[in-house]
């Protein structure tokens, strides 16, 4: 349960409106694994957790076996970064 709370805490909300009273809240992601933790279903969240806990040998195995999932969330993270860059 402690790990679940830690992952929830990693989702940071950034107030884009400052103190002017007019901004909404938007999500901030640190990397593709963070996107997996926040947006993924239960399997994807578990995969991200396994990857974060794994040693380098097992990380390589996970990436090779589940390459499609990692590619999807890496693309989502890149798209999010591009959206943030354009909004700035």
Q: Is the pLDDT of residue 32 over 50?
A: yes
Distance CA 29, CA 9 (A): 12
Kindly report, residue by residue over 39-71, the tens digit of the pLDDT: 999 999 999 999 999 999 999 999 999 999 999
Q: Report the DSSP beta bridge partners of residue 28.
A: 12
Give CA–CA dist 75/14, Å, rounded. 22
CA distance 9 to 26: 15
Residue 40 is encoded by which pair of tokens? 């993924």
Taking all residues of the chain, what is their mean pLDDT, rounded to a whole number?
78
> CA 43, 8, 70 angle in degrees (round to 5)?
40
Q: Taking the domains of the chain in order of start, what are their residue ranges?
A: 2-87
């Amino acid at each position: 349960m402690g790990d679940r709370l830690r992952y929830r805490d990693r989702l940071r909300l950034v107030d884009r409106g400052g103190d002017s009273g007019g901004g909404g809240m938007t999500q901030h992601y640190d990397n593709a694994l963070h996107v997996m933790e926040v947006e993924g279903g239960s399997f994807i969240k578990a995969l991200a957790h396994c990857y974060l806990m794994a040693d380098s040998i097992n990380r390589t195995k996970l990436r090779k076996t589940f390459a499609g999932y990692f590619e999807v969330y890496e693309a989502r993270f890149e798209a999010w970064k591009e959206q943030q860059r354009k909004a700035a």
